[in-house]
Amino acid sequence: MRHPLYSLLLLPIVGILAFVFWPRHGTGASYASDLPGAGSAALYDKTTLFDYMDGGAEDFIQNGFISVKVWTGKSGGAEWTEELYLFASDTQAEKIYQKIKGGAERRFENTVYTADKGSALVRSGPFLFKVFVYPEDAALPERAVHHFIRWIHEQNA
């Protein structure tokens, strides 16, 4: 006869297998920055978003915010930040996109995004991808957005 705790000992093994083999592209977990000098990524959820965002966290959470993965780095004399937000639905991501977009609309591989000299923003499905650079540099944000758009298209292929 097996001990009643035998089943509980199997749970960690099942959890590890699920973590290793569960498809990640749906959550953005497989996306990685391609910008030079990328450091490690930080992940924030509803309970830790206030640690990352000075203002506006409430609006994000009320609009279906699930998580944001943040990369920072340095390239030459520029410092950059990439943020990959995941929302509960396309509609909720679109609401935030409309509130924070700026700059001229541009198109890359049939995807519309906004960009100015120091930042770029794109929404695709439940994802919102934002990159900004200081000092302002037009090439770096657009390169990051193009990389993200290619990644999204690969996920949907």
Domain assignment of residue 150, yes or no: yes
Domain assignment of residue 8, yes or no: no
User: Residue 108 sits in which domain range?
Assistant: 24-156
Give the CATH number for residue 30: 3.40.1000
Neighbours of 71 (CB within 10 A): 22
Contact 119/106 with Cβ under 8 angstroms? Answer: no
Domain assignment of residue 31, yes or no: yes
Kind of pairing between the strands at 104-108 and 119-124 = unpaired
Q: Structurally, how many domains does the chain consist of?
A: 1
Q: What is the pLDDT along the chain (157 residues), one digit of tens a residue?
A: 555 544 444 434 433 333 333 333 344 556 777 776 677 789 999 999 999 997 889 999 999 999 999 988 887 778 888 999 999 999 999 999 999 888 788 888 878 888 888 888 998 889 999 998 888 766 778 788 888 888 888 877 6
Domain assignment of residue 13, yes or no: no
Domain assignment of residue 131, yes or no: yes
The token pair that represents 140 in the structure block: 């770096």
3-state secondary structure of 40: coil
Domain assignment of residue 148, yes or no: yes
Domain assignment of residue 115, yes or no: yes
Domain assignment of residue 9, yes or no: no
